[in-house]
Amino acid sequence: MAKLKLAVLISGRGSNLQALIDACADPAYPAEIALVISNVAGVQGLDRAVGAGLPTLVIDHRKYPNRTEFDLEMTQAMEAAGTELVCLAGFMRLLSEAFVAHWHDRMINIHPSLLPAFKGLDVQARAIAAGARFSGCTVHYVRHEMDVGPIIVQAVVPIHAGDDAGALAARILAQEHVIYPAAVRWIAEGRVTIADERVSVDGAQPPNVGAINPVP
């Protein structure tokens, strides 16, 4: 059976790219990375991709007169590589409405909060400042509005007394590396459907336990 072809878009260290690389190394995993694109040259994520023998491309957004032309260049490169699913993995550029529409229901993102809470940047510091007891991460389909779209899967982590943003981010990142490959697997296996902007995953079950923080 043919594997789902992924394009992974990065801007930095590429830790979630590495999680996908590791998942794809399993011959039984139903997806493969066809292309890695970075809008920044020399980042660690490109080194990870090259080390795994993956095709890479740097498309510097600063060389394009507008966002539309930059996005068009990415689309042409991804289509030439046979891309079927776009995975945003720390890609720090806003995307044009036309680009998002072109890849509608074929582009996913991972965000380090429990959406719809704490959209945008500096989410760990904001969660701590708000006194939240839990945070986490979300894999979702991309829509034009930032950090909005049908949610595929979320992971929850506790916020500890004395946490700073870095400590919380590290705890969340460990879960990102679990749920992103899982979401891609489900999509590749044809188990994900979207109806009325809500996702269902065939055969997936919710947990039967809750969590309390702090524990009484």
Q: Which residues are catalytic?
A: 111
Distance CA(11)–CA(90), nearest Å, equals 6
Query: Of 131, 132, 151, 153, which Cα lies nearest the Cα of 142?
Result: 151
Distance CA(96)–CA(66), nearest Å, equals 10
Side chain identity at 27, as an amino acid letter? P
Residue 187 is encoded by which pair of tokens? 């999509």
Distance CA(120)–CA(111), nearest Å, equals 9
Distance CA(141)–CA(194), nearest Å, equals 10
Distance CA(163)–CA(5), nearest Å, equals 39
3-state SS record for 90-136: CCCCCCCHHHHHHCCCCEEEEECCCCCCCCCCCHHHHHHHCCCCEEE
Query: In the chain, which residue ranges form alpha helices assigned H by DSSP?
Result: 15-24, 44-51, 67-80, 97-102, 123-129, 165-188
Residue 152 is encoded by which pair of tokens? 């595929």
